[in-house]
Structure 1
């Protein structure tokens, strides 16, 4: 919370505290300052953005008997402010205790609920974070949050057993009409997921969520799902995927021009161009951006540089410049990820090495995950194991392949696509077909499976590993049992775009 907001809240506290309670407190030694004088000092500190000075005074106030004689609204909001200050000082547990006390005494204002979303998420109480989110009332209550917070919360709730909490979170964001205001950011994938969650019980709500979507990827997911057939038929122009991709490119180009110091701009525009089959233009955009080496050329380089190098590698791969693609991704993999050892680009590097026929190098790349300090999520570990399985298959290391496939099958719920991909690499067409059928039968997974079984435009140059995988996928797609499962879930299509992420399988 800003100093101005804290000061305004404190002013309200002083106004409430000015009235005396009817009860007379038990006599005690007079403190050096009266309660109102201490509250005034707190106000001055908060006005000057000095939480570290205000907190000791607030702790003193909480020990005074006359504080408990003040109106409950005054007590509650003072606890609230103390909680906010504790949070700003990085003491999440202490902040949460004070906010809980404020809630018990008088209920929380929206700013207190906003704080409890944070303390719940980062204090390990995601149910509390969702409950606080559901209680927010003001239409602009979500403006205090960056999109990253909701992505973190959604990721924390990704496990199947937390699907109810995830739906509640998305329902709260839907009610408050959440829209990220950061350039190049989108919540479209989440809106598509929410639409799929509620379409059977609440078709109108699903249509409202779908109306927020403009990204061609989530639009494709809805387009293929038979539950959205009426919506797609009613709005053919909006579900025209090629037109949607062109619109996204135009919007992102405009945003890039308006935000010349954000490396996310060239990265996003390059990805848009690859989707449209224009990998040469994508490479030119990124080369121009990465040639800027002046100090502070990019305000978001800390996180975006690794993704820009990642995107450049994909453009080089699409153009058949395989050695350069590997080198570019190695540069990205050498960069930290959120202040820790890189995970995403290392996994992507191994995949590129597999695609260009270098399974030994891929195994060497993935071996870094044996070190405990390089931590991947359960989802990421599945990609690591899947990459190892593909390398073992390419090298004919059958015993290691069998062991890895057994492990992947036991953990398939953590990342079903990674399991499917390993089965395809192993040439297990029956196993891959069974995996796709399970995914198609699951309302939460069918969108990814339908998209994976669709046929996309090829890139300018197709890497040898991609060709082999595509041949096996075609065998799976053609099977009558898979065709029947597809028809039950929706449809697959010939998509007039290039698939730009290898994990969409």
Structure 2
């Protein structure tokens, strides 16, 4: 642990100081050594007396306040192990108001509050941290901030906290998590604009501008942008994002979610070959060292699907289908539902709808969430459309509808029903809950790479759908600005 390395140097300094003063013993150095040895040996019961002695040790605090704080953390965590959550929480609350406390003490206490499901208290604790330590707010950990924001159920509390984070200029440290915080920021931006708080709105805009996806979304919302003002070039933004994430992954090569985010950015910028080389390298390392050596192992099926998708984009369909087939036969557990659905879509695109439907035996229906059930229904509907099975097509199309009763758009296009697809898209444009999705659906982006004749027809149908007069009129009525973007965004 880091504090133990720092403690070694401190012990030497304290011992030298004691020797020069001809002191018979140095209790601070002795307590550091005792507690360090006991904690490293996993003997919290033996460590606690020495840690308690160090808690308010003025010599320790004066010599190295940061390391002294870390040893207070050790006392709290050992108390958690030995005496339970209530005792540790009480000690942690006391530590936050210790003379040597920094914002790191709030990180620990918020973690304890979240782990004991005291969500409102966790939010209040982060608020207090931002108020007491605005100049060092940037040091709050991603987990502290994001877990609190996402756990809070009361929207007013959530966005008051988000506004406070904006004002003290807190930024997420993991660039692969940008999309999550920026999705929350978009809500904050809209609220600031509605409230006429131009200063706060500009802070939000500045924070989201380096995210190409969110920038396109903001520029497509006529309530947030001036349609007469051209958008700034977005490709340099995406290139900067790619370089930032690459640098992050270079320092954390076991971060699978970070890699997944990078692959998505590179695909949007047509860096398919580069993305495939990077991904294949990591998958080789996983095969050699075991998935347990990597962070977020549940992302593994998505990475295999990404490899297959990259191969499809590079017109290497037989290889892609082999990757899908082997993955479906080998993988089980979290993440595989989306993988199998992606495989089904790939088979349907290449005219193998019966084989696609047979893959449903690999899906555990009770494990599916509502979104996955809708995605599966939409995939089934496309298969039935191509098979001319109108009865099962209608049932699957109905099952693809969201909570507002709006069916998926793709099945209509698979069935050649442009009027039905237009009606579904217009319904999504007019549904406030689908506004962000509708904005992106309407943007004039580079089309997805077609993988087959059937897929080419589908890509062309999407482009035609977006340009229908009734669809454009609905978008204009809902203040959606249609702009052209030199990127490939997944839209349907």
Conserved? CA contact 1:279–1:460, under 8 Å: no
1:486 aligns to 2:475 (yes or no): yes
Conserved? CA contact 2:450–2:459, under 8 Å: no
Mark the CA change 1:419 to 1:112 in structure 2 (over 3 Å): closer, same or farther.
Answer: farther
Aligned to 1:167: 159
Mark the CA change 1:134 to 1:144 in structure 2 (over 3 Å): closer, same or farther.
Answer: closer
How big is the shift at 1:43?
12
Conserved? CA contact 1:142–1:178, under 8 Å: yes
Aligned to 1:222: 218
SS of alignment partner, residue 481 of structure 2: coil
In 2, distance between residues paired with 1:292 and 1:105? 43
How big is the shift at 1:275?
1.7
SS of alignment partner, residue 482 of structure 2: coil
SS of alignment partner, residue 419 of structure 1: coil
Mark the CA change 1:134 to 1:265 in structure 2 (over 3 Å): closer, same or farther.
Answer: closer
TM-score, length-scaled by structure 2:
0.69
Aligned to 2:315: 320
Conserved? CA contact 2:450–2:456, under 8 Å: no
Conserved? CA contact 1:80–1:99, under 8 Å: no
TM-score, length-scaled by structure 1:
0.67
Q: Deviations over 1:251-270 (max 9, x none)?
A: 44555556666666765554
Conserved? CA contact 2:79–2:87, under 8 Å: no
Mark the CA change 1:327 to 1:154 in structure 2 (over 3 Å): closer, same or farther.
Answer: farther
Conserved? CA contact 1:336–1:342, under 8 Å: yes
Mark the CA change 1:477 to 1:364 in structure 2 (over 3 Å): closer, same or farther.
Answer: same
In 1, distance between residues paired with 2:173 and 2:425? 37
Conserved? CA contact 1:363–1:391, under 8 Å: yes
Aligned to 1:383: 375
Aligned to 2:12: none
SS of alignment partner, residue 200 of structure 1: helix
Mark the CA change 1:429 to 1:135 in structure 2 (over 3 Å): closer, same or farther.
Answer: farther
Q: Deviations over 1:19-70 (max 9, x none)?
A: xxxxxxxxxxxxxxxxxxxxx9999658943887359989xx9xxxxxxxxx
How big is the shift at 1:216?
1.6
SS of alignment partner, residue 498 of structure 1: coil
Match 1:207 to one of 198, 202, 205: 202
User: Which shifted more, 328-337 or 41-50?
Assistant: 41-50
1:279 aligns to 2:256 (yes or no): no
1:100-111 alignment runs, 5 A limit: none
1:361 aligns to 2:345 (yes or no): no
User: Which shifted more, 256-265 or 397-406?
Assistant: 256-265
How big is the shift at 1:220?
0.8
Mark the CA change 1:251 to 1:224 in structure 2 (over 3 Å): closer, same or farther.
Answer: same
Match 1:495 to one of 482, 485, 490: 485
Mark the CA change 1:342 to 1:52 in structure 2 (over 3 Å): closer, same or farther.
Answer: farther
SS of alignment partner, residue 445 of structure 2: strand
Mark the CA change 1:398 to 1:178 in structure 2 (over 3 Å): closer, same or farther.
Answer: farther
In 2, distance between residues paired with 1:489 and 1:439? 14
How big is the shift at 1:317?
1.0
- Identify, as 1 or 2, the structure richer in helix: 2
Conserved? CA contact 1:385–1:408, under 8 Å: yes
Mark the CA change 1:422 to 1:155 in structure 2 (over 3 Å): closer, same or farther.
Answer: farther
In 2, distance between residues paired with 1:232 and 1:153? 39
Conserved? CA contact 1:309–1:331, under 8 Å: no
How big is the shift at 1:221?
0.6
CA RMSD in angstroms, aligned pairs only? 4.8
Aligned to 2:238: 245
Gaps of 5+ in 2: 8-29, 53-71
In 1, distance between residues paired with 2:373 and 2:145? 23
Match 2:340 to one of 343, 346, 352: 346
Q: Deviations over 1:42-101 (max 9, x none)?
A: 99658943887359989xx9xxxxxxxxxxxxxxxxx99887557679x9xx63796389
SS of alignment partner, residue 379 of structure 2: helix
Gaps of 5+ in 1: 8-39, 62-78
In 2, distance between residues paired with 1:253 and 1:291? 18
1:302-451 alignment runs, 5 A limit: 303=297, 305-332=300-327, 340=334, 342-372=336-366, 375-409=367-401, 411-412=403-404, 419-422=408-411, 424-425=413-414, 429=418, 432-441=421-430, 445-451=434-440
SS of alignment partner, residue 317 of structure 1: helix
Mark the CA change 1:342 to 1:412 in structure 2 (over 3 Å): closer, same or farther.
Answer: farther
1:99 aligns to 2:89 (yes or no): yes
In 2, distance between residues paired with 1:260 and 1:102? 33
Mark the CA change 1:146 to 1:362 in structure 2 (over 3 Å): closer, same or farther.
Answer: farther
Match 1:177 to one of 164, 169, 172: 169
How big is the shift at 1:318?
0.8
In 1, distance between residues paired with 2:344 and 2:186? 30
Mark the CA change 1:410 to 1:450 in structure 2 (over 3 Å): closer, same or farther.
Answer: closer
Mark the CA change 1:3 to 1:395 in structure 2 (over 3 Å): closer, same or farther.
Answer: farther
Aligned to 1:49: 39
Q: Deviations over 1:416-467 (max 9, x none)?
A: 7x73445554555555444434443455532321211223223554444543
In 2, distance between residues paired with 1:103 and 1:378? 40
In 2, distance between residues paired with 1:362 and 1:168? 47
SS of alignment partner, residue 227 of structure 1: coil
In 2, distance between residues paired with 1:168 and 1:220? 25
SS of alignment partner, residue 315 of structure 2: coil
